[in-house]
Every structure is written in structure tokens, then in C-alpha cells.
Amino acid sequence: MAGSVDKPSYELFSKDTRAFVYGMQTKAVQGMLDFDYMCGRTVPSVAAIIYTFGSQSISKLYWGTKEILLPVYRTIEEACTKHPEVDVVVNFASSRSAYASTMELMEFPQIRCIAIIAEGVPERRAREILVTSKEKNVVIIGPATVGGIKPGCFKIGNTGGMMDNIVASKLYRPGSVAYVSKSGGMSNELNNIISHTTDGVYEGIAIGGDRYPGTTFIDHLIRFEADPACKLMVLLGEVGGVEEYRVIEAVKNGTIKKPIVAWAIGTCSSMFKTEVQFGHAGSFANSELETAVAKNQAMREAGIYVPETFEKLPALLQEVYEGLVKKGVIVPQPEVAPPNIPLDYAWAKELGLVRKPSSFICTISNDRGSELTYNNVPISKVFEEELGIGGVISLLWLRRRLPSYATKFLEMVLQLTADHGPCVSGAMNTIITTRAGKDLISSLVAGLLTIGTRFGGALDGAAQEFSKAYDAGLSPRAFVDSCRKANKLIPGIGHRIKSRNNPDLRVELVKGYVKKNFPSTKLLDYALAVENVTTSKKDNLILNVDGCIAVCFVDLLRNCGAFTLEEANEYINLGILNGMFVLGRSIGLIGHHLDQKRLRAPLYRHPWDDFLYLS
Amino acid sequence: MSAKSIREYDGKAVLAYWLNRSPSISKEEYKTVSATPAVQLAQIQFPLPTLVIPAESTTYREVVEDVFAKVEQEHPWVKETKLVAKPDQLIKRRGKSGLLKLNATWDEAKEWIRERAGKNQKVQHAVGYLTTFLVEPFVPHPPNTEYYININSVREGDWILFCNEGGVDVGDVDAKARKLLVPVRLSEFPSRATIASTLLSDIPVEQHESLVDFIIRLYSVYVDCQFTYLEINPLVVIPTAKGADVFYLDLAAKLDQTAEFECGAKWAVARAPESLGIKTSGEESGAINADHGPPMVFPAPFGRELSKEEAYVQGLDAKTGASLKLTILNAEGRVWNLVAGGGASVVYADAVAVNGAADELANYGEYSGAPTDGQTYEYAKTVLDLMTRGEPRADGKVLFIGGGIANFTSPAVTFRAIARALGDYKDKLHAHKVSIWVRRAGPNYQEGLRVIREAGKKFDLPLKVYGPECHISGIVPMGLGKAPVEAEWQMA
């Protein structure tokens, strides 16, 4: 067991204090370790982290410039067994679990002090904690506090702010002034005031803003009274509660003899017409006695140094301090420079001190702000303006908003390509994979992997071939001839069954829409002229649905006014048409997967007689 | 979040449901059967009158009659018994203010409520609209059967006060009442004998068993449902052959709002229509609540109904671990605070008061606990919007963007958001001649101060910037012209 016996009862923290941090608060832990390092501690103050969720067993942190590993335990019991020297816990549990965790921590006799950070612990639970803590002789700081700090020794969690503030308020080495404050935010202000007007902070505790803090002003002032290194005390109280009167009592009956400079904030509440609940749960006067004005008056009458206003507190504190120096009670010590703490990369970046080239770039979406954006359009606007799937594709694929006739065309393409029956190779693959018992993604991907130049890939080829011929100024007949000479099929021309006299309805739909809505249909007109040439040779060499979509897509990109010719060509070359087909067909492939699942279709085995065996 | 007052209706509903259900705190058996009659509570709520639909308008009057019709349907008993009617809006001493209608028929009660619904009412200093009423059966009783009971929580435990006098004229109960402190540790709950000898020494012995039972039952609910204050006055105890019948005629209570995660379900179920015997028309499918029953309501003090803006900030606050608070003290005031920190915000309010501007202080508020950019922006916009309403004043207005030295909130983050809000309101800020004073420190405060100073320059606002070298509320006397203006903060 740790030597809790040889520690004086007034001393909660020393240069050797070891603590657990309850909760995965690595930033706060790093702040504590940086503070330790700056104070010249040889061993970090945090022995381990207790985190009841997750399976992490270590946490990596910095000790100066070095990296060290801190153990992470899932139970309090294990942590206590492995680290018997620990006697302080900084409890970051939420308001819901602060009660249970604190009660459990108090079952381990090695724990002498627990700081409860959470705000909103139910008042009955807070009182149960404080009753148990008195029985077990555990010092509770909080709930609803930032904690406290003992310069040169120990820092609770986030107390004292960042390292630059630790330096500015000289919190890396002890002074002679101990304070106790209700407010955690104000404690840092006291650090600042005390460092400017005296030889610095000896110890500071923020008891927390709740109605029932585990320890109050008097508990800590009595410790400071007993601690020979503390020479002067500061008390920052607040409207609400009667705890200041217990200090007055102790001063009057001689329990406290060291000088106290004090102020209760909230003097304005007496001047308001209606009752105001200030930010702290406990800051509400239930009687005249609990007002800040009454408290300040009573403290003044008891011989405590109380300034006229809070603004005059620094001057009064300085005056009392200088009196003690003159009397030789305080002998100011020579200053020592603290070691430098290297800046964390993230913090240095925040401060604008460093830069680093990024490894990745993203230009289409951003999830970092208050609202997700697609190419700078907030997601709420996507719905407000009913951009639809076509609009989303135009934002994420083409990085611009397109007119609604264009986005409707994109949706038309998706609808037309969604499915083409079970027999095409993609659907077949998906069905067979599904029937082999595979999951949705595997089955979908099995189908998608068949998409290429032969299946579904005709769109990209058709767009490229037709555009190239048109841009080169080849007449439709010359284009057809050149393909024949090169023994090349024209992508987008030809259908297994459909012909001029038996037209593909899908093609008619696209042509009708495009003719009606597009500003220009030059490439479609060109392709139809090509179709005239090819069908004169054979009736089924029509412009098929792939070819029709492809040339219309090119017409759209080139003529909607949103793209230069280069940009339009680039998007085609990037494979956007293939993308449209993959996206559209995924709808059908997922449909086939779900269909087979629903039908409980068994494993498929192809019949022997359908293969010609040649070995 | 803290201990908050609840309506009498809700308090009575919770008692009615839990009095016979909460596990007994006492180790001893109850001696009597609790004979609480069927719950008969009718809450009557009218909308807040508006400029468009004032209380006198025909439309509003029609709404009032519609509400009455619904009450008759949901609570058929109102037509069958003599009634008590009273406003239920956390008003103290209603009897003395003439806000209590006793022994009335339903028609008389309706007429009495009709005269008051939607009307302005002055109670002591506060003025507010009467919109929520409670109607329940009238309990005739001889005056010597009225008692007073109060339970309230302190650090050491819970005080139970019991007084053999009750009613409107009970007087100084603190001096008259018998008191018993129940320790926080419930295993140390006092024995029946102690309760009787401490609290009931002035009461006839034959009523002791039923009263002790009632006190234990009441206290068990107090603990189980995490009350922090409960006062029943008068408590009527009518002796019967078996002991006594107990009625709680008037009730004031506070619940610990932070205990909602433990007790929310208990508060809700007590107020579900089935628990209250409310005849619902069946087909009313409303929103689905988290618990079985509607969530507890914590109304603002009388005359301090939340403004739209206050309610908005309360909504923001409820959705985050950070803290955002706003109370309008005087919407016409010229001094506005936009201050970070629960303690620092009080220091700023003090400083304004000390410098002679208490009457001009428009708001109390604070943001803390590292609110996000979006939350801070919404909060700042709300304050700026409120302070730039109405006709500009010749003497202009003052805005203090203040705060202490933050422990972990980054002023760079919050000030970027505030700077954006200043930009949104730059024209209005000019029109109202708002002078802006900034003081803040904490992690990366240099960037925060730089950003806000830039915003001041960009939007041409009279804005002065101070950092940790200035006292926390040092900008207040400067801004109010009570102290010479010091040199501003400079980037190192």
C-alpha cells in the first residue's frame, strides 16, 4: 500500500502524487503530463487511465519530446491492484455515471481524493457521495468543476488551461497564496490575478458550481491553514448557499488565523426585479442570507479582507501580500525558468505556426462544417430545392449545378439502364452468386464485374467514337466506311432483335425527350444520319439505347452552357458514362439479389449437357 | 439544469400516482391502508394571447369555449361536484391575491376562469398572463382539520416540517412547525415512534398512525421521484372510524431536473392520461414520447414566460454538453452582455450594476463548456438581434463580449463565430450606435482577439479589444464611461 499514513492530512497533492484518470480523456491527460514535465517531476502524475468501454489496453502520450505508454484498465479493481501507490482520481464520468463510479472508487481504501468533473449530477446522488466520502475520509472535489491545481506538484484535468497560460501565470512553481473558488472558469482568472500581485499560487481548488459540492470552502481553507507553506488565502464565493458563513464562523472562533482575501460574486442579484438563476445550479439565493451582498458584508465584519468591488480585489490582495513580505512571513524565492514543452502538432497548426502538405485532396464534398455540403451546396438546400438524384450526381460527379432538364435526363439514364432482365451476364452473375449464399455486396459486385467493353461498356466507346468522327468533320458515310475498313464495329449501333420497323421504345423515349428539351442535338442528329447509312445495309443496325444515351450525353455536356468543350471531353474520357451505367444497373442487380433471396433459390449447378466436354 | 419548480397539477399527479407505489423508506410496516380517492385533476390551458389574437378577440373567446368543451369531455366529473378553481402558474399566496375560487359549480368555475383567461395579472412585482388553471373537487372540511407539511432538502439531509395549523393564514411556520431532519443515508430513517413524537406532539394520538403512514408515504415519494422541495398547505386530515382521510389541497414543489435520467419515466407515467383517469377520445395519436406519458414541464416563474429567443437558447442548451443561457432582464436596456463562463458572466452582471447601470442591463447569459462554432454563432446572433430591435436610442448601446481566461474553451473558435454574427448585424449595429468592448483569454486567445479585431475593422464597428492584461471585467467601467479608456491589447 502507498504511504497514505505518512502523508499529512492537509496535503492532497505532492510532487510524487500518482493518479488515475477515469474516462478516455487523452487531451486532459496530455495536459497533466505536460504540466508535470514543466514542473520538473521525474514520474508522470497519471499512472493509468480507467475506461470501462472498449478494449484498448494502452494509450500513447508524450512525456516532453518522448512518447510513453500509459496502461488503460477496464475495471477500477484492476487499476487499483496494479497501482497501489495511486491515491487520487480525476473522474471524467458523465453526469449519469459519475455517482456509480465515484461510489465504487470509494470502496478502495487507497483512494484519498476524487475530483468529479461532470455537471448535472442529481442533487440526491451528490449528497449521498458526500456523506459516504465523510465516512471514508475521502476528499471529493466537485461535481461540476474543472478541478484544481497545485503548482510544482499536480494539476487536475484541464485546470489552468493550456501550457502558455501555465507559463504566464507561473503555475509550474509554488508561491505562497492558496485559493478556493466556486467557479472553475474564475479559478483561472484567480491564477492570473495572484501571479501578478503576489509570489504566486500555492494551491487552488474549484469546488464546483452545484448546490451540494463534496467539499466546500471551509474544508480546503482548514487544510491551507494547517499547511505551513501556505501564507495567505483567497476565497471566491458566490450568491446562493451558506458555505461562506462556515468560513466566517471559523475565522471568528480562531480556527482560521491566516489572512483571507475574499469576495462573493453575484452582488447584482439584489438589484434585479425578478429572480434570476445564474449559470451555476447553486447560484440562487433562497433567502437574504444567501445573497452576495449579505455574504460580503458578513465576511468584512468578521475581519476577512473584502474589497469594495471585485475589480478592486487585485489591489487589496497585493497590499495584504506586501504586508506579509514586510513582516518576513513570506520570503519571495528567486525565479527559475521552466523547461520548454514542445508544441503538439495539432495545436501548433491551430496557432498557425506550422504547415504540412496534405496527402489527399477532395473537391466534391465537405463534412466538417455544421452541415454536410455537396460541392458547396448544403444538404438542406439539396432538399429545399428538390435537386433529386440527378442534381446530386451533377454536384458530386460534374461539380456544378445543372439546369433541371439536364438533371432529369441523368435520372432518365439511370431509369433506362436500371435493368435488362435476368439473362444478361451481369444479372446472371448476381443471381448465381446470390444462390451460392453470398451476401448483398458480394452478389452485387459479382454482377458489376462483368461490365466492360462487351457488356454495358458500349456507352463510353460510342460517345468517344461518334464525337471523334464528328469533330474530325467526317461525313456519316465516311465514318461508316472508315470503320468498315478498320474492321471495327461501331459501338452503339446494332440490336439483336430491334430494327427500323420494330424500334426500341427506350430509344424513342430518349430521342423524344432530348429533341424537346436540349438546346442542341448535333451529335444525336449526326448519329441518326449514321444510323441511316447502316440500316440501309442491314435493318437491325439501328442506333441502340446505349449509343443513343451516349451521344445525347455528349450533346448535353457540350451545349448546356456549364462546360467548355475541353471539360466536356474530359468528363467523357474519365468514364462518366460507364459510371452512369454502373450506378443504374446496380439498382437492377440489387433487385435480382433480393428477388433470389426472397424466393429462397437454392445453390445453382449448371447441367452437364450444356457443356461440351473435350477432355 | 437544477432544482426547478413544477405546476401544482404535475405535483399532485406525481403524488397521486406514486403515494401507494413508491417503495417505503421505513423499515417498519404501514399500519393503515392508504385510502386516496380516485384522481380528479383537470388542467385547463389556454394559448398565450398575441397582438393578432388578443384575449378580448372573438377568436380567443371561441378558443376558450373549445377548451372548456374538451375539459367536460375528458373530465365528466366537473359537472357532478362542487369545485375549486385557481391559476396554476407558480404563483405564491393565490388566496391572498383573490386567485382562488372555492365551492363553485362547473358553470360558476367556468365563468370565473373565463373572466381571467388570457388576461394580465399583477402579483406582487410580477405581471403575467393567466393561461393555465387547475380545477379539482372542493373538499368541505372544518377549519380545525387543516395542517401544514413541508419537506425541503439541505446539505445534511431533508427537513420535514409539520404544523398543526394550516391554510392561508398559517403565518411563520419556521417558528411554529415541528421539525425533523432525515439524514441523507436512508438506512438511518427515523422510527415511527420518533416521527410521531417529534412531528405530531400537538396532534390527537388516535390520528398518529394514519398521519405517520402518510408522512412516510409522502417522504418515500419525495425520495423516489427526487423532489427537492414539497409543501402542502393546507393538508386536510379528517378523522374517520379507521383513522383519518388525508387530502392535500394546495401544493408547491420543486423537482431536481438533473435527475431526469433516473426519474423521467416516473414523472411521465404519473401524468399519462390513463393514470389520471382522463377520458381520451382514443384517436389522438400525438408524437411518441421517450417515456410512457408526457415529459415533465418546468415552467418559467410567473411573469417571466420565456420569450421566443430565450426558449430558442434553452433549446440549443438542451441539445449540447456545452452550456448556453439567456435571460432577458430588460429588453429596452442599453447594456448587453455576451459573456463566456458561468462565473465570469455573474462578474460582468455585477460590474454593470456596480457601475450604476443595473436598470440598463438588458440580459443575463453565458456560454461555456466549449460550444461549437455553430452553437456560438446562433447564440451570438440571438443576442445581437435582440439588442438591435426597436427605435435606436440617442445615447446608443453597449455590448460587452467578455469572459475570463478559459481552461479549455478556445476563444479562437467562439470568436470566429461571434465575428461572423457581427458581420450579419453590422448595419443594425451601426443604426443603434452600438459600441463593442471585448475582453477574453484562454487557449489561442491571440487568434480569437485578432479575428474579432479584424471583424471590427472590416465592418467599421467601434470595437475595443483587451486580453489577460486587463482585469476580467475591466472593460465594463470603460464601456460605461466610468473609467478612462486604457491602451488596447497588442499581438506580441
The ipTM, to two decimals, is 0.91
Q: Say what the pLDDT of residue A537 is.
A: 85
DSSP A273-338: SS----SSTT---SSGGGSHHHHHHHHHHTT-B--SSGGGHHHHHHHHHHHHHHTTS--PPPP-PP
Torsion, Cα B21 B26 B32 B38, to 10 degrees, reads -20
The 10s digit of each residue's pLDDT in A152-186 is 999 999 999 888 889 999 999 999 999 999 988 89
pLDDT at B377 over 80: yes
Q: Which residues of chain B neighbour A183 with C-beta distances below 8 Å?
A: 341-344
Q: Do B346 and A127 touch (CB under 8 A)?
A: no
A467 or A340, greater pLDDT: A467
> Do A15-143 and A174-331 have matching folds?
yes
Q: Do B364 and A184 touch (CB under 8 A)?
A: no
Mutate to test the interface with A, among B255, B258, B267, B307 (most CBs of A within 10 A): B258
Q: Say what the pLDDT of residue B51 is.
A: 85
Q: Say what the pLDDT of residue A438 is.
A: 97
Which residue among B350, B405, B471 sits closest to A188, beta carbon to beta carbon?
Answer: B405
Q: Which residues of chain A neighbour B185 with C-beta distances below 8 Å?
A: 128, 131
Name residue A77's amino acid.
Answer: E
Q: Do B226 and A124 touch (CB under 8 A)?
A: yes
The 10s digit of each residue's pLDDT in B90-112 is 998 888 888 999 999 999 999 99
pLDDT at A468 over 50: yes
Say how far apart CA B254 and CA B257 lie, in whole Å.
9
**Quick one: average pLDDT of B116-126?**
87
DSSP SS3 for B403: strand
Q: Do A186 and B184 touch (CB under 8 A)?
A: no
Instruction: Mark which residues 337-376 of A lie under 8 Å from B by CB.
Output: 347, 350-352, 369-370
Say how far apart CA A297 and CA B304 lie, in whole Å.
30
Mutate to test the interface with A, among B91, B172, B174, B346 (most CBs of A within 10 A): B346
pLDDT at A3 over 50: no
Q: Could you count the other beta carbons within 10 Å of the beta carbon of residue B419?
A: 23
**Quick one: average pLDDT of B130-148?**
93
- Candidate CATH numbers 3.40.50.10680, 3.40.50.261, 3.30.40.10, 3.40.309.10; the one for domain B308-480: 3.40.50.261
The 10s digit of each residue's pLDDT in B301-315 is 888 778 889 989 988
A457 or B342, greater pLDDT: B342
pLDDT at B487 over 60: yes
User: Domain-by-domain residue ranges, chain A?
Assistant: 15-143, 174-331, 365-401, 417-599
Banded model confidence at residue B285, pLDDT cuts 50, 70, 90: low
Mutate to test the interface with A, among B89, B155, B186, B489 (most CBs of A within 10 A): B155
Beta-bridge partner residues of B439? B466
pLDDT at B284 over 60: no
Q: Which residues of chain B neighbour A189 with C-beta distances below 8 Å?
A: 343-344, 404-405, 472
Q: Say what the pLDDT of residue A269 is.
A: 83
Q: Which residues of chain A neighbour B446 with C-beta distances below 8 Å?
A: 351
Banded model confidence at residue A2, pLDDT cuts 50, 70, 90: very low
Q: Say what the pLDDT of residue B259 is.
A: 95
- The rounded radius of gyration (Å) of the Cα atoms in chain B is 27
Residue of chain A minimizing CA distance to B444: A351
ω into B234 cis (within 30 of 0): yes
Which residue among A131, A185, A279 sits closest to B404, beta carbon to beta carbon?
Answer: A185
DSSP SS3 for A532: helix
Torsion, Cα A357 A358 A364 A367, to 10 degrees, reads -120
User: Can you list the positions of beta strands (E) in A293-362?
Assistant: none
Q: Which residues of chain B neighbour A125 with C-beta distances below 8 Å?
A: 259
Q: What angle do CA B37, B42, B43 make, to 5 degrees?
A: 140
Q: Which residues of chain B neighbour A284 with C-beta distances below 8 Å?
A: 2
Q: Which of A273-277, A452-456, A459-463 has the highest mean pLDDT?
A: A459-463
Banded model confidence at residue A273, pLDDT cuts 50, 70, 90: low
Helix axes B445-458, B411-424, angle to 10 degrees: 10
Name residue B449's amino acid.
Answer: L
Q: Say what the pLDDT of residue A453 is.
A: 80
CATH architecture under which domain A15-143 falls: 3-Layer(aba) Sandwich (3.40)
Q: Could you count the other beta carbons within 10 Å of the beta carbon of residue A165?
A: 22
User: Domain-by-domain residue ranges, chain B?
Assistant: 3-35+141-273, 42-74+82-137, 308-480
B301 or A579, greater pLDDT: A579
CATH architecture under which domain B42-74+82-137 falls: 2-Layer Sandwich (3.30)
Banded model confidence at residue B281, pLDDT cuts 50, 70, 90: low
The 10s digit of each residue's pLDDT in A412-429 is 999 999 999 999 999 999
ω into A357 cis (within 30 of 0): no
Q: Do A278 and B405 touch (CB under 8 A)?
A: no
Name residue A226's amino acid.
Answer: A
Q: Do A119 and B323 touch (CB under 8 A)?
A: yes
Say how far apart CA A146 and CA A119 lie, in whole Å.
10
Q: What is the mean pLDDT of chain A?
A: 93
Say how far apart CA B262 and CA A289 lie, in whole Å.
32
State how beta strands B157-163 and B146-154 pair: antiparallel
Residues of A with catalytic function: 280
Q: What angle do CA B465, B470, B473 make, to 5 degrees?
A: 90
Q: Do A281 and B258 touch (CB under 8 A)?
A: yes
In Å, the largest CA–CA distance within chain B is 86
The 10s digit of each residue's pLDDT in A343-368 is 888 888 877 888 888 899 999 999 98
Q: What angle do CA A559, A563, A566 make, to 5 degrees?
A: 105
Q: Say what the pLDDT of residue A5 is.
A: 55
Which residue among B1, B327, B471 sits closest to A281, beta carbon to beta carbon?
Answer: B1
Instruction: Mark which residues 538-557 of A lie under 8 Å from B by CB.
Output: none
**Quick one: average pLDDT of B437-460?**
94
Q: Do A182 and B343 touch (CB under 8 A)?
A: yes
Q: Say what the pLDDT of residue B50 is.
A: 87
pLDDT at B450 over 60: yes
Q: How far is A258 from chain B (nearest CA, A)?
A: 26
Instruction: Mark which residues 306-325 of A lie under 8 Å from B by CB.
Output: 309-311, 314
Q: Say what the pLDDT of residue B169 is.
A: 76
Q: Which residues of chain B neighbour A273 with C-beta distances below 8 Å?
A: 125, 329
Which residue among A189, A265, A274 sits closest to B304, beta carbon to beta carbon?
Answer: A274
**Quick one: average pLDDT of B372-385?**
94
The 10s digit of each residue's pLDDT in A539-574 is 889 999 999 999 999 999 999 999 999 999 999 999
C-alpha cell at B480: 460605461
**Quick one: average pLDDT of B251-264?**
95
Name residue B182's amino acid.
Answer: V
The 10s digit of each residue's pLDDT in A31-61 is 999 999 999 999 999 999 999 987 778 999 9
**Quick one: average pLDDT of B287-303?**
85
Q: Say what the pLDDT of residue A590 is.
A: 98
Domain at A174-331, CATH homologous superfamily: Succinyl-CoA synthetase domains (3.40.50.261)
The 10s digit of each residue's pLDDT in B178-226 is 999 999 999 999 999 999 999 999 888 888 998 999 999 999 999 999 9
Q: How far is A471 from chain B (nearest CA, A)?
A: 50
The 10s digit of each residue's pLDDT in A72-102 is 999 999 999 999 999 999 999 999 999 999 9
Q: Say what the pLDDT of residue B36 is.
A: 65
pTM: 0.85
Binding site: residue ranges of A?
221-241, 272-309
Q: Say what the pLDDT of residue A389 is.
A: 96
Binding site for CoA: residue ranges of A?
299-309
Say how far apart CA B278 and CA B293 lie, in whole Å.
12
Note whether A124 contacts B: Cβ–Cβ < 8 A. yes
Gap between the terminal Cα atoms of chain A: 81
Q: Say what the pLDDT of residue A299 is.
A: 97
pLDDT at A530 over 50: yes
Query: What is the dotted CATH code of the domain comprising B3-35+141-273?
Result: 3.30.470.20
